[in-house]
Structure 1
Amino acid sequence: MEKVLMLHSSCEGQTIKILKYIAQELGVDYHCDIQDIHQLPAPNFSEYDKVLIGASVRYGHLNKKLYQFIERHHESLAAQKAAFYCVNLTARKPGKDTPETSVYMQKFLKKSVWQPMLLEVFAGALRYPRYNWFDRTMIQFIMRMTGGETDTTKEVEYTDWRRVSAFSEAFKAL
């Protein structure tokens, strides 16, 4: 049985939902430990066969704690079979939904000392009723500018679960 360390840097929970889906897709041949990257002191990477990190974009940026974690552990990450995925609402649009075309993934690759073996970008979810007033107003403004959903009574999940399944298979093959 392979052991997988699954780390997340999530704002609203869609990144975690995707991580749990991947764990389920990996099946019974894998033991998956899911941890919050912001609360994990120092993982023992040698206990794991693979590492997967998922991170969400908030207001155009990945969390700075993600970069701090990577900076501290980049040598261990580089020695692992490791993958990274980014979750953002921009990826709901064709042409902005691949590692090569996602501005957020390209920014990550330029800023990060770690260059993962496998990359992917997933569209996130819009959860207006769950946001506080400020976030709801700001996200609605951004969605209006980018031609997205602006009805604040709605929740819309843009994640393409078939792509998540395909990524899971690619991760298995690492």
Structure 2
Amino acid sequence: MKKILCLYSTREGQTKKIVEHIVAQLDGYESEFVDLHLHPKLNLALYDKVLIGASIRYGRLHQSLYQFIDHHARQLDEANAAFICVNLTARKEEQKKDTPEGSVYIQTFLRQSAWQPKLIGVFAGALRYPRYRFFDRMMIRLIMKMTGGETDTSKEVEYTNWHKVDLFAQKFKDM
């Protein structure tokens, strides 16, 4: 059976949920899920495909992602590997913030990363106010107010466009 390695960096779980959704559409693959925050050192050659998903918090990807890439850059270049970035800005599809070209986060990632993925997806995440610590809840509320988003801190809102995720899954399957 073919094997897929699914690496994720997530805060409240939406990135992992999206990665799981993508992998569920890949028939015939045995999947292994690994939290990037654990700083794993893996042999990527053991896998037929590699999917890395990371979320943005306060405008940045977690340092664990860059540490993993720095350690595995050559293997990632040789692998059938794809990258997805999950962030709340991507909810602005009409402004193309959900595309690699329109995402400032992806453009920054590509400048800072030793790896240049062959396939990149950008997806809106979820707003989970009740799950955040007080400080995070207030800071994210301020950011959402400035960007025209939901500010009711009693709500949880999922902005993920699942149809778009399905289209990415097909591209990933075909690579």
TM-score tier (shorter): over 0.9
Query: Residue in 2 aligned with 1:77?
Result: 76
Taking the TM superposition and a 5 Å limit, the aligned residue runs for 1:1-174 are 1-27=1-27, 29-94=28-93, 95-174=96-175
TM-score, with structure 2 as normaliser: 0.96
Q: Check the 8 A contact 2:39/2:67 in 1, yes or no.
A: no
Check the 8 A contact 2:49/2:79 in 1, yes or no.
Answer: yes
Offset of residue 12 of structure 1: 1.3
- Following TM superposition, where does structure 1 have runs of at least 4 consecutive aligned residues deviating by more than 2 angstroms? none
CA deviation vs aligned residue, 1:67-96 (integer Å, no higher than 9, x gap): 111011100111101000000000000221
Identity of aligned residues (%): 59
1:43 and 1:136 mapped to 2: Cα distance? 35
Distance 1:162 1:19 in 2: 14
Cα deviation, residue 40, structure 1: 4.4
Matched length? 173
Tell me the CA shift for residue 117 of structure 1: 0.9
1:24 Cα deviation (Å)?
A: 0.9
Amino acid at match of 1:165: D
TM-fit CA distance, 1:41: 2.7
Amino acid at match of 1:48: Y
Distance 2:24 2:39 in 1: 22
Say whether the 8 Å CA contact 2:9–2:15 is kept in structure 1: yes
In 2, Cα distance between the equivalents of 1:68 and 1:5?
17
